[in-house]
Amino acid sequence: MKRFVKLIVIIIPLLLSAQDKTCAGCGEPVAEGQYLKIGTKFFHPEHFTCNHCGQPIKGKYFELKGRFYDETCYFNHVLPPCAWCNKPLDDRVISFEGKLYHQDCYRKHVALRCAACDGLIESTYFEDFWGNKYHQEHLKNGYKCVYCSRLISEKVTGGGVEYGDGRHVCNLCRKGAIDTEQQAAFLLDRVKELLWEENIRISLETIPVYLVDRPKMQELLGQRSGRETGFTRNRTTFRNGFVSNREFDIFILNGMPEIHFISTVAHELMHVWLHLNASDKMDRRLIEGSCNYASELILKHFADPEKEIILHGLRSEEDPVYGTGYRVVRAWAGKHGRKVWLDYLKEHLSLP
């Protein structure tokens, strides 16, 4: 990271025997008595000169690449100016990432600062999705928001809350969180309309949506390795061996920020579309990959910058079903078009 540059050596005139010693300036023997010893070299005091102005150096000297300078020349002509304020440096230079700064300029403007406490970061730190950096120590008794990854702190998020099911959610995310089934039903309709525009058409009049906490969601998911944010229950009625009626219930994790709710409900509505239009025997990678792709299509309709963390999550998902499935579907639909993708889903069971 940063380091202080040691530049200063004070000349200490040495009163030693000068036998057999020659001046590195003129090559003549130095006289018995006072002379200068710089490293392993000896100088007549008048021959120890500044490489810039040629005058004998009195007081502090500075060495750079084997050459010597007096203080004035060194800071005004040899060193570049401070990379922050552009004024000549002084003898307390700080070097950081290849640039030189005044100590004050560095501390006030350049040094890494913690987004939560504004203190200098001089050792380990962590970074959230948005590039804010924080002292590592804050995690000892603090939490990252499960939705936006920011450190829950007064300065960054205005605090936050812990849900009954253990989720830590910052107040930025709390502000637009979906807590009521009226909000949920309204947004589900909105997403259904947007899917319709994308040719993903679900004609069912009503699809009930329920908000549940984490334990309830885990209970619904059972042994499935699902994302624990949403679940679609399919209630199929058979008559004489044929499907006579299909009904669906959608369960979404409560208290999620609006954009996370939207992304999840788009995914679940795509499940509904698949139940209505495709085979139940479809490969899970094609199912979940397509549902994640539907999420992405819907997120495009929203300007909320917080969606970036969701898109990033989709793209970097490592799970072979949700991640690989999504990437294959996305690339394929991108190449052949949305309509070909939807037709493909109606007729095939596995990834293209």
Q: Which of 7, 18, 36, 50 binds Zn ion (CB under 5 A)?
A: 50
Sheet holding 41-43, edge to edge: 14-16, 33-38, 41-43
Among the listed residues 68, 75, 102, 187, the single contact to Zn ion using CB under 5 A: 102
Note whether 216 binds Zn ion by CB under 5 A. no
- Using CB under 5 A, which of 42, 48, 75, 147 touches Zn ion? 147
Which one among 8, 16, 31, 53 touches Zn ion, defined by CB under 5 A?
A: 53
Residue 170 or 272 having the CB closest to Zn ion = 170
What's the CA gap between 244 and 93, in Å, rounded?
80
7, 25, 289, 298: which one binds Zn ion (CB under 5 A): 25
Q: Convert residues 169-208 into a mask of x (bound to Zn ion by CB under 5 A) and - (unbound).
A: -x--x-----------------------------------
Our CB check for Zn ion shows the closer of 44 and 344 to be 44
The verdict on 70 binding Zn ion (CB under 5 A) reads yes
Question: What are the C-alpha distances in Å from 269 to residues 150, 195, 274, 312?
Answer: 29, 9, 9, 21
The three-class DSSP label of residue 84 is: coil
Q: Are 287 and 322 in contact (CB under 8 A)?
A: no
Stretch in the footprint of Zn ion (CB under 5 A) among 39-47, 177-185, 210-218, 248-256: 39-47
Q: Is 96 in the site for Zn ion (CB under 5 A)?
A: no
Binding of Zn ion at residue 41 (CB under 5 A)?
no
Q: Is 330 in the site for Zn ion (CB under 5 A)?
A: no
| Smallest gap from residue 254 Cβ to Zn ion (A) | 16
Structure-token pair, residue 143: 């939490």
Contact between 73 and Zn ion per CB under 5 A: yes
| Residue 302, burial from CB neighbour count under 10 angstroms (0-12, 13-18, 19+) | middle
7 is a contact residue toward Zn ion (CB under 5 A) = no
Burial 220-245, CB ≥16 within 10 A → b, else e: beeeeebbebbbbeeeeeeeeeeeee
145 touching Zn ion, by CB under 5 A:
yes
Q: Which residues on adjacent β-strands are paired with residue 17?
A: none
Identify residues 257-296 at the interface with Zn ion (CB under 5 A). Answer: 288, 291
> Which CA distances in Å does 83 have to 108, 157, 258?
13, 32, 44
Q: Is 176:275 a contact under the CB 8 Å cutoff?
A: no
The C-alpha atoms of residue 19 and residue 17 are separated, in whole angstroms, by 6
- Footprint of Zn ion on this chain (CB under 5 A)? 23, 25-26, 44, 47, 50, 52-53, 70, 73, 82, 84-85, 102, 105, 114, 116-117, 119, 135, 145, 147-148, 170, 173, 288, 291
